[in-house]
Amino acid sequence: MRNHRFAFLLALVLALGLSVAAAGCGGGDDESSGGSTGGSTDTAAAAEDVSGNVSVLALWTAGEQKSFQAVLDGFNEKYPNVKVSYKSAEDVRPVLATAIEGGNPPDIAALPNPGLMRDFVSGGNLKDIEFARKTVEDNFAESWVDLASVDNKLYGVFFKGANKSTVWYNVHAYEDAGIEPAEDWDAFLQNAETLKQSGVPAWSIGGADGWVLTDWFEQIYIRLAGPEKYDQLTNHEIPWTDPSVKETLTELQKVFGDTDNIAGGTNGALQANFPESVTNVFSDPPKAATVYEGDFVAGVITDETTAKPQTDFNVFDFPSVNGSEPAVVGGGDMIVMFKDNPAAQALVEYLATAEAAEIWAKLGGFSSPNKNVDPSVYPDEILRKTASALAEAETFRFDLSDLTPSAFGGDQMFTILQDFLKNPDDVDGTATKLEAAAKQAYK
């Protein structure tokens, strides 16, 4: 009798278990959580189950911090039981170094370049985010995934990007000179000569900030030498005395050496920082007609001048060199994880979606490398153009100086190119100095 009763109870338990499992696999056909990655009532239920505290450190301050908070608010709508605490720092590196040394890094941080990510990986400080690989691969081009990986393991996702292959110009100065934005390097240089003859110097260069000069070099180099050599030079697999480097310096000399065509001449360029190089072009009257730098130029224009988009200022792609294919060199802030827990994983995966990026994109001052972001959400045509070029680029490379050892890319390369700006005829000597500095830094 007890055996029959036991058998009956066992059958009942198994039946109930199967019923529960079937219900769990159901999926709720009439409800969806929406968003760019789709979902079901099960996903919403899973989000309700995730709880905990997540600390985030990033370099976004002031207006950018407010915009990122809007993104975090969107996350909290999906994950109401996760509390996110945000801390900003203009330079996250020393803050993270101190926190790691004290044994209490944040759960998540935004890093300004892949080189810093690799340093933390080699030190055993970062957790991989392989759990989010499918989401990342669905939303980002292969080049962005590769940049966020070490030894084929994914450690980050680029949330915010920068397109540095952009040239900004004073619309009225170009109209007065009777020229249109150039698509190739020869026309670019010819336009500069026409502008000079019209009475306005062509160039404004923020040479006091050495990174502006490294950006000039990188834009020409990837177009003249190609992306493969760009990678080889980045990794110091070819020397800085390679003919491709000297050819690039020779082309750069055509800009730096035309001193009468630079706002303030050579001394003016060496004394002007990046913001000043922008306001030079969009002041009234302008001190120059053109400034090369990334898509963040737009923020300086709108914050510090009265120039209006398209009417007073506009943008075009950095021109091809010798018929080179389109390429984008840029930068980006990548989300990484120092502590592995369900709440941190949920935030990382959310930040990899187009849904999260579109919240900030609508607010302006933001470009996303996420290829699934709807370009129409950007608030103006100029930002739509530069952001789309970033996300859709078939050939993308990260800023070269940010990928090299900081002793070289963040120090020696700056000063050597500033010396080249002073003496642009010294192509061979500049290449030799760059190679000597690289040898020391790559030891």
Nearest in space to 287 (alpha carbons), one of 300, 296, 275, 277: 277
Strands 328-337, 156-163: pairing kind: antiparallel
CA distances from 18 to 21, 43, 193 (A): 5, 21, 79
Q: Is 208 exposed, middle or buried, given 0-12, 13-18 or 19+ CB atoms closer than 10 A?
A: middle
Q: Is 24 exposed, middle or buried, given 0-12, 13-18 or 19+ CB atoms closer than 10 A?
A: exposed
Query: What six digits make up the tokens of 86?
Result: 């945000």
SS3 180: coil
Instruction: Report angle CA 235, 213, 416 to the nearest 5 degrees.
Output: 70
> What share of the chain has pLDDT > 70, as a percent?
90
For residue range 191-235, what is the model confidence (pLDDT) as tens digits? 999 999 999 999 999 999 999 999 999 999 999 999 999 999 999
Contacts of 409 (CB under 8 A, 6+ apart): 115, 214, 400, 401, 402, 403, 441
Give the strand order in the sheet containing 313-317: 290-292, 166-170, 313-317
Domains and CATH numbers, the chain: 51-163+330-398 (3.40.190.10), 175-326+404-441 (3.40.190.10)
Cβ contact 313:307 at 8 Å:
yes
Task: Report the alpha-carbon distance of residue 361 to residue 358 in Å, rounded.
Answer: 5
Contacts of 122 (CB under 8 A, 6+ apart): none
For residue range 53-80, what is the model confidence (pLDDT) as tens digits? 999 999 999 889 999 999 999 999 999 9
Q: How confident is the model at residue 268 (pLDDT cuts 50, 70, 90)?
A: very high
Residue with tokens 């952009």: 166
